[in-house]
Every structure is written in C-alpha cells, then in structure tokens.
Structure 1
Amino acid sequence: MMVWRHTLSALIASSFLIAPAAGHAEEEREGGILGTGIVGTITRLGSIIVNEQRITFPADLPVKNELGPLTAAQLVPGDTVAVVADLTGANWEAQSIRRILPIIGPVSEISSDETGRTFEIMGTAVHVPLSIATTVKQGDWVAISGLWQDEDVVATRVEVVPPRQSAVIIGSNLSVGASNVPQIGNTLIAGIIPQHVESGDVIRVTGIPEAGSIRATSLETGIFDGKVGLVQAEGYLSPPTSKGLYTLLGSGMVAFTDQPDMIDETAKVRLCGYDGKLGGNSTADASPELLEKLGCQ
C-alpha cells in the first residue's frame, strides 16, 4: 500500500511530467528490452518480498554486493536491494539483483537517545532504530542497509565487518558544500570530481575513509544491472533545490515543483517513475497490467 500525504498526492496529480511508461514486452530502447525496476527493503522471505511485491529467482542467482560474493538465497529481511524483474504470470522473476549498502566504513562516534543509536561514519549520521539490536563499538567497521532521509541514513540492517582497505558510499548527487566540493549526505567526496553526472543521479563512490570525507579511488553511476523502464521505489523525498528539483533519494528519479512547501521530507513513500522521471500521470501507453501490479495507478 502506498504511503501518501494528501498534499503530496495532489501535487503528483497536478504537476509531475513523465515520459510514457514502459510495459510492453517487446518495447526496446538502445538495443535492449527493458525490465522493470523495484527498489526497496526486503520485508520477508519466500522468495523475497520487496515493496509488497513477491519476487522469485533461481537460488544461485548472483547478487551484486560490495562485500563480496552473494547469492539471492542468502538475502535476508532488512537488506535493501535494486531488482530488475520481468512479470511472469502473477509474479515477478528477478533478472538481476544489486544489494544497496548506502554506507560502509568505520564508526567515528556513537550517541544514543530514546529512539535508538546514531553512528557517525565519514561525517554522515546513520540512525539505528531500537528495533535493530547492535553491539557496534566506536572504531568498528560496519555495512549499513537502509534508506537516505535528507542527509542522513535510516538503517534497516547493520553488519559489523572486518576492517577494509576501502569504504563505500552510495546516494543521490544533490548536495554541494560551501567549498563547492561534491558530497553525498554529509560526506565530502575528494580525489575525483564527478563528470557527466546530473542532479539526482545515484553515484557509488569507493575510496579511503577520512574524517568527514571519502577520498575516492573509483566512482560509478546508477543502481540497476540492466535496462529498466518503469520503476517502483521506496524512500524519502529530498528537499527541493532553489530550482525546484527534487528526487526520491537513492532512486535516480527526479521531478520539479513550484510548490516546495508541499513536499513532505519526513514520510517514507513508495512511488513510480520512468526513464529517470519521478511520478506522473502520462501513462496511457503503459501496460495496465504492470501499472496495476506495482500500484502505480
């Protein structure tokens, strides 16, 4: 079930612009057949349930994973994933799965309050709810599953990992600090200046962790391992920029608004988009079956 605030729903109905959504099995773009993208948190198994969508897969399907080899059968509730899937009968069949770990790095500070614990990793705050039991200590390296909310991460799973040569941060390209240095969350990106990256694009940075920053050794864009048309994603909306651009954080999809006060940045939402554009009502050419299955109508 989609989570909406009434004003946000009205805004989507009145002001989003979107290209016609994919859905026909034979539709092709740039030489490849488009799949459907689903981005969110695994809530239960059998096969996996993401955003209330049941996704089946071969047990040995490899999962792209920053921590090393992993198969789809090893995924667990709390993992955040980006799946390229095809609708087969009544169920989705995964063609590829990427595990999304918004941040991997050493914990420099830990604080606690009545809602849970907060870790600082490379300058970015990670909020860990009380429902997630952890034994993390200052100095530990952790891999965080979860969703971006503004410049912080709301964790859905925390893993302590052995110290690594490289840290990782994955998120939407929106923030630029006062020194004009690119950043994700509150982590400054040093070492590599992103080229040909648009506002709202998801970038994946690997590098050396430093106080408040990561010294990049490599940078990639995108979250899917395949061509996608229609996308359904879970997350939080970003604050609009001065030009009205905002994104569903971590999805790579953007929209514009001339009513920034109507964007609720605190509510977790589940939205659809196509070809990098978020939301929309111009879906007359989309497959009704796909739209209904994803709850995009």
Structure 2
Amino acid sequence: MTTGKFSRRAALAAGLSGLMLPGTVWSQSAEREVEGGIGGTGIVGVLTDFGSLIVGGNRVQTDATTRFSDGFGGLREEDVQIGDSLTVEATGTPNALIARRVHVTHPLVGRISAASEDGRRVKINGVEVVTGRSDRGFVLGDRVAVSGLWQGPRVMASRLTAARSELDLISGDVKRSAGDIRLGTVSVRGRGVGALAQGSFASATGRYDADTGRFRVDTLSTQRFVGAAGPLARLSIEGYLEPTDTAPGYRISGLGHSFERTLDLRRYAEARVRFSGAYTGRFAADSAVILPEGTQARRRVLRRLSR
C-alpha cells in the first residue's frame, strides 16, 4: 500500500473520512512516475472555486496553452463557471498541476419535460435530475445544459444553464443488455452505437424522442480523456459508486474507467466520494474522502483539500 503525502494530506485536511484503501499495489517504477509528475493527471469533478481552478479538491493552474471545450465545441476560459462538471487533463506534480485541457462534461443537455412542484427534481432526456434548489430560473419546456454527477439512474445537478445548441446531448457510461444499448439509463440508436463496449464512456449529441424514450445519435465521442496531457499516470475522481458484476463489485457512475480488482469499496457504496490514486489501465485508488451532500459544506472540504 502506498501512503504518500497527497493521501495523508487529503485525509487530514478533510476532517471527515479520508482513508487509505486496502489492496492497492503497483510497481516501484509506476510509483516513482506518479511522485515525480511523469505522466498526466486526469481529474473529474465539479468546479468549486477560482484562484486557478479548484476541481474535486485539486488546484489546477491554466496558461495560454490550455484548451477549453464542451460537447459542442470550443469555449473561452471565462465561459467556465463554478458548478460546472469538468474533465481536466493536467501535467505537473500533484501540488503544481497545469491544465492542458478543460472540458465541461455535461451529463445531459435537453428539454425539461417534467418538474416537481418545488422545482427540486426535473426530467431531461427521460432522466431524473435532482437540482437541490427550489428556484433555478427554468420552467417546463426550457432547453438546459446540466452539470453534475451521475448517481446510478439519476443525475445530481450542480449547475443548470441555458443550452447553447439545438441538439440534445447525453454523456455517461455504456450499459448493454439483451440487445439494448444505453448511455446512463437512455437507450441510444445510430451510427457507431453498436461498437460501444460495456462500461466504457461515451458522449453523444443528437435528438431525444420523448415518445419512444430513445436517443437518436448524430455524433459520438468515446473518450473522456483525449491525451492532451500525455498518458495518464494518476486519476482524481469525484463521484458515486454503482454496483457491477465484475470485481471489485463497484464502478463510479458515468466515469468509464474500472477500479483495480483488489480494492474493498463497500463502505463507500452510499456516499459521494473523492477517490485519488495511480492509473495503470485500471484505477488503483489509494485514498478516498467522503464528501458532504450539502453544496457549501462540500465546497469547504474541497477547498481545504486543495491547499
């Protein structure tokens, strides 16, 4: 088991459940590469603060070479706002990360087809979205882009904004069963869909048909990380676990990367967690911090983690 400074500091700073995960083993050469900053760092989480970018408890600098985008093309740096769900590819050591690519990974973009009376739950592309607030300024029929994290069949939203495209979008992990192919919980049809692998990540733009409950794909991307920071040596992922039939019995909802098979993740099954550790083709997480569900309490914990 590796017990580096990064994991200890995370545990102490959080003051919650920062724990070393049992069963994580990788070679000495891989460990030296992580500690020396050789190889990229992939980060998935929600942007909680500026002063550089603080994403999932990681402080990441940007420079003139950093590229910004979402599922519909390029963005300006100022387009990225607190609450956006980001995929970041960075170089440097864990304490001096520089973003090479910042991608706003919307789980959903589409029309609000249903809403609870208090506005705390809406339905978009057939998926339940938990907004957590009674007033987001949107009404039934509005087209919105959802930032947030998948939690099993639903999305826990961190930000809703007006959609900037007339196309719908869905991003998440692939589920195949009895000839049905789904992204998250939504059946998808179209060119390239048949080649999607179980458990992989994909992002599709197209049209959601409310009558059939199917998403007709126009364009399909199958990479969460595109190599902007070179081969990844480390991951830091904020998310929720969901059960899977393969070892270690869980994966992170919507991620598309599998854990090292020897990890014991049972205590984190019901929580929102920030996992960190080496990436060797599988996610060899060596630390986990259980995060509060409340937005402000979680923001305080993640801010401390970034110090």
Query: 1:287: which partner in 2?
Result: none
Query: 1:172: which partner in 2?
Result: 173
Task: Tell me, yes or no, if the aligned pair for 1:204 and 1:220 is still in contact at 8 Å.
Answer: yes
- Please report the RMSD computed on the Cα atoms of aligned residues, expressed in angstroms: 3.3
CA distance in 1, matches of 2:269, 2:214: 25
Residue 254 of structure 1 aligns to a residue in which SS?
coil
CA distance in 2, matches of 1:261, 1:98: 28
CA distance in 2, matches of 1:56, 1:259: 31
Q: Please state which structure has a larger fraction of its residues in helix.
A: 2
Deviations 1:129-181 (A, max 9, x none): 02x741222211110000000011100000122660x21111012x335x531
Structure 2 CA distance for partners of 1:112 and 1:237, relative to 1, 3 Å: farther
Task: Tell me, yes or no, if the aligned pair for 1:79 and 1:99 is still in contact at 8 Å.
Answer: yes
CA distance in 2, matches of 1:100, 1:162: 14
Residue 129 of structure 1 aligns to a residue in which SS?
coil
Would you say 1:13 and 2:22 are equivalent positions?
Answer: yes
CA distance in 1, matches of 2:26, 2:181: 28
Aligned positions of 1:33-182 closer than 5 A: 34-58=39-63, 61-87=66-92, 90-112=95-117, 117-130=120-133, 133-161=135-163, 164=166, 166-173=167-174, 175-176=175-176, 180-182=179-181
Query: 2:280: which partner in 1?
Result: 275
Residue 235 of structure 1 and its aligned partner are, at CA, apart by 0.5
Residue 22 of structure 2 aligns to a residue in which SS?
helix
CA distance in 2, matches of 1:171, 1:53: 22
Task: Tell me, yes or no, if the aligned pair for 2:171 and 2:184 is still in contact at 8 Å.
Answer: no
Task: Tell me, yes or no, if the aligned pair for 1:105 and 1:143 is still in contact at 8 Å.
Answer: yes
Deviations 1:107-139 (A, max 9, x none): 1111146xx611111211111002x74122221
Query: 1:191: which partner in 2?
Result: 190
CA distance in 2, matches of 1:38, 1:259: 20
CA distance in 2, matches of 1:266, 1:187: 23
Query: 1:266: which partner in 2?
Result: 270
Residue 192 of structure 1 and its aligned partner are, at CA, apart by 3.6
Number of aligned positions between the proteins: 267
CA distance in 2, matches of 1:24, 1:191: 43
Query: 1:221: which partner in 2?
Result: 222
Deviations 1:68-100 (A, max 9, x none): 431223321101111111226942111111111
Match of 1:23 among 24, 30, 34: 34
CA distance in 1, matches of 2:15, 2:269: 11
CA distance in 2, matches of 1:261, 1:24: 24
Q: TM-score normalised to the size of structure 1?
A: 0.77
CA distance in 1, matches of 2:16, 2:181: 31
Amino acid at match of 1:266: E
Deviations 1:33-90 (A, max 9, x none): x311111111011111112221111268431212443122332110111111122694
Task: Tell me, yes or no, if the aligned pair for 1:60 and 1:73 is still in contact at 8 Å.
Answer: no
Residue 73 of structure 1 aligns to a residue in which SS?
helix
Residue 278 of structure 1 and its aligned partner are, at CA, apart by 2.3
CA distance in 2, matches of 1:108, 1:133: 16
Structure 2 CA distance for partners of 1:103 and 1:55, relative to 1, 3 Å: same
Task: Tell me, yes or no, if the aligned pair for 2:71 and 2:203 is still in contact at 8 Å.
Answer: no
Task: Tell me, yes or no, if the aligned pair for 2:151 and 2:242 is still in contact at 8 Å.
Answer: yes
Amino acid at match of 1:271: F
Residue 186 of structure 1 and its aligned partner are, at CA, apart by 2.0
Task: Tell me, yes or no, if the aligned pair for 1:149 and 1:266 is still in contact at 8 Å.
Answer: no
CA distance in 2, matches of 1:137, 1:67: 23
Amino acid at match of 1:176: R
What is the aligned-residue identity percentage? 26
CA distance in 2, matches of 1:220, 1:248: 19
Structure 2 CA distance for partners of 1:183 and 1:23, relative to 1, 3 Å: same
Q: Identify unmatched segments of 5+ residues in structure 2.
A: 1-9, 287-304
Structure 2 CA distance for partners of 1:235 and 1:4, relative to 1, 3 Å: farther
CA distance in 1, matches of 2:253, 2:241: 6
Structure 2 CA distance for partners of 1:146 and 1:18, relative to 1, 3 Å: farther
Amino acid at match of 1:183: R
Task: Tell me, yes or no, if the aligned pair for 1:240 and 1:260 is still in contact at 8 Å.
Answer: no
CA distance in 2, matches of 1:258, 1:230: 18
